[in-house]
Homo-oligomer: A and B are copies of this chain.
Amino acid sequence: MDILRINLATKECVRQSLCSSEAIIGGRALTSKMLVEEIPAGCDPLGPVNKLIFANGALAAAGVSSAGRLSVGGKSPLTGGAKEANAGGTAADSLAKLGLRALVLEDKAPKGESYIIVLNDEGCFFHSAEEYKGMGNFQLAEALFGKYGKENSLITVGPAGEQGLYAAGIAVTDMYGRPSRMAARGGLGAVMGTKGVKAIVISKKGSYRYPNLKSEEFMSARKKFNAQVANSERVQVLKKYGTASTVMAVQNLGALPTNNFSAGQFEHAEKISGEALYELIQARGGEGRNWEPCMAGCLVQCSNVVPDASGKELVAPLEYETICLLGSNLGIGDLDEIGKLNWLCNDLGVDTIEIGGALGVMAEAGLANFGSYADFESILQEMYRGTLQGRLAGMGAALCGTILGIERVPAVKKQAMSAYDPRGVKGTGITYATTPMGADHTAGLTVFFPVDHHDKTGQVEISRKMQIQRAAYDAMGLCAFLTSATGQTPQVIIDLVNTLYGIDFTVEQWNSLALETIKREIEFNRAAGLGKDTDRIPEYFKREKLPPFDLLWDLEDEELEAVFGC
């Protein structure tokens, strides 16, 4: 496996080979390793010195269920610190079939220029992106598939990335060609857009195959692994209801972000629940799908396709965090309205969590009314036009709060919180505070642990454990939803790696790699000026009681500092 470095100023492309023991370090472990080793912490995230690193995991394109996540790393314009965001879709597998573990975008295109980068077995090619400038992700994907053919994976940015907005994510196409799998968080789309890359077109027809891919040992390990995934109970729930199954659980905890995190229960929660979504899809039929994979061979199939009243695809997928941030957090209790906002965010190429957070803050400042779809849609439309209001929303919740003078900004390290109020899910609050990523549930979600989530007792340990597990999965390009099936039996994954690469990797080494990755990211943050004081939940969460259960955030600084001891 190789690393391909693409210099956007010189258009030089260089391949570097990796040995087997290096090649298994992928995903977040690789992006964060390169981040610390190659990117000066003090650099301008949107300047030429920052890099944008794409890395798949050791099991990409090997027929392993849910092993095709694509990690994207670099210095975050949003947080100013270390960033890795990962997405499903097909690009990770396609890169692996070209023999690539990682792709690195370096330097910056000359001012005003923008490229489509085409990767296939023949090499790496630069095409002008002139005709695609300002195009939304959906129109762009259609145009690129038209030009380059359907047998490609696309990595794209919408108008938000081109404008350098800090909420801009990077879209990856799914099995059906939708550019709606997002490496959403932390503004990496702005890094890609301002480097002058509108899209990367990656052939799905690459000829690289792992030498041991057809070995009996690997195929047997894979069979065992896939069976374990298919038989998991939690996976069945995810398949049927998608992540939306979480709505009522968090509503019952009183931790469902509502009206800019001012309440923990939403009067219309049932109307936007997993059950309601399931029924809606069933009732409308048409192009609707209750479950669907986003990558080849995935047995979890948590995705869905939401049809509109006429049965035509409205948005796909619709996920829990989006339902909450663009729904309850904005006072919107209608799945169609949420779906339309979600589609606009996908097309603009922005993180639905960050935008939901920003819109909530703007509503609190009086620039929109909670519950008014029209108000929020109008702000998203302004984002296409690059107006001041559109740009402000696109810069995320923290900058909205700064400019508008709003104190109630649900963010850590300037990154908006996702759909778990930290006062009601203490362990996830600890993750928000202490992950180097800024508020991010994917860095260590604790809500499915069978404990009292209102009580902080023992939560530091749970958060730490989950953060290390998530970092381990991220290091392998494995979907987080596998953890419910294989989290307790890490050896089944190590067996896959060892039989595929012919090495002797161990569970202990895997865990060490995960912890080392987190510590590297923290080291980068410190060097970038994000001190311990940024590993905190905002003060007002300690003062404002969250109705209806009057919950407060009650973790002391020392408890937070104990999570990683640095």
| A163 and B405 contact, CB distance less than 8 A | yes
Binds B, one of A31-39, A40-48, A134-142, A284-292: A40-48
Residues of B within 8 A of A163 (CB): 405
- A residues 449-499 in Cβ contact with B at 8 Å: none
How far apart sit A40 and B165, CA to CA, in the bound complex (Å)?
32
Binds B, one of A124-132, A271-279, A387-395: A387-395
A404 interface residue (CB < 8 Å to B): yes
Known interface pairs A41-B533, A44-B539, A539-B47; A388-B391 also in contact (CB < 8 Å): no
Q: How large is the interface on A (under 10, 10 to 19, 20 to 34, 35 or more residues)?
A: 20 to 34
A403 interface residue (CB < 8 Å to B): yes
How far apart sit A534 and B527, CA to CA, in the bound complex (Å)?
11
How far apart sit A44 and B407, CA to CA, in the bound complex (Å)?
10
| B405 and A388 contact, CB distance less than 8 A | no
Most chain B CB within 10 A, of A47, A164, A402, A407, is at A402
A535 (CB) vs chain B CBs: closest residue: B42
Residues of B within 8 A of A395 (CB): 402-403
How far apart sit A402 and B45, CA to CA, in the bound complex (Å)?
12
| B533 and A529 contact, CB distance less than 8 A | yes
How far apart sit A392 and B403, CA to CA, in the bound complex (Å)?
6
A118 interface residue (CB < 8 Å to B): no
Residues of B within 8 A of A155 (CB): none
Taken together, the copies of this chain in the complex come to 2
| B388 and A399 contact, CB distance less than 8 A | no
Known interface pairs A163-B405, A404-B388; A529-B539 also in contact (CB < 8 Å): no
- A residues 363-396 in Cβ contact with B at 8 Å: 367, 388-389, 391-392, 395
Known interface pairs A399-B403, A402-B395, A404-B391; A531-B527 also in contact (CB < 8 Å): yes
Residues of B within 8 A of A527 (CB): 531
A248 interface residue (CB < 8 Å to B): no
Contact of A388 among B41, B403, B536 (CB under 8 A): B403
A536, chain B: closest CB distance, angstroms: 8
How far apart sit A99 and B530, CA to CA, in the bound complex (Å)?
42
A529 (CB) vs chain B CBs: closest residue: B529
Known interface pairs A405-B163, A405-B164; A42-B531 also in contact (CB < 8 Å): yes
A205, chain B: closest CB distance, angstroms: 38
Residues of B within 8 A of A389 (CB): 388
How far apart sit A389 and B389, CA to CA, in the bound complex (Å)?
9
Residues of B within 8 A of A392 (CB): 388, 392, 403
How far apart sit A452 and B528, CA to CA, in the bound complex (Å)?
35
Residues of B within 8 A of A403 (CB): 388, 391-392, 395, 399, 403
Residues of B within 8 A of A42 (CB): 531-534, 536
- A residues 400-442 in Cβ contact with B at 8 Å: 402-405, 407
Residues of B within 8 A of A47 (CB): 539
A531 (CB) vs chain B CBs: closest residue: B529
A307, chain B: closest CB distance, angstroms: 37
Contact digits for A136-170, partner B, Cβ 8 Å, 1 yes 0 no: 00000000000000000000000000011100000
A44, chain B: closest CB distance, angstroms: 7
How far apart sit A164 and B402, CA to CA, in the bound complex (Å)?
9
A42 (CB) vs chain B CBs: closest residue: B533
Most chain B CB within 10 A, of A164, A367, A533, is at A533
A392 (CB) vs chain B CBs: closest residue: B403
Contact digits for A510-547, partner B, Cβ 8 Å, 1 yes 0 no: 00000000000000000111111110100100000000
- 18 residue pairs bridging A and B, Cβ less than 8 Å apart: A40-B533, A41-B533, A42-B531, A42-B536, A44-B539, A388-B389, A388-B392, A388-B404, A392-B392, A395-B402, A395-B403, A399-B399, A399-B402, A403-B403, A529-B529, A529-B531, A529-B533, A529-B534
Known: A42-B531, A527-B531. 13 other contacts (CB 8 A): A42-B533, A44-B539, A47-B539, A165-B405, A367-B388, A388-B389, A388-B403, A391-B404, A391-B405, A399-B399, A399-B402, A528-B533, A529-B529
Give residues in A with beta carbon < 8 Å to B.
40-42, 44, 46-47, 163-165, 367, 388-389, 391-392, 395, 399, 402-405, 407, 527-534, 536, 539
The 9 A-B pairs with the shortest beta carbon distances in the complex, nearest first, are: A42-B533, A529-B529, A529-B531, A164-B405, A391-B403, A395-B403, A392-B403, A388-B388, A163-B405
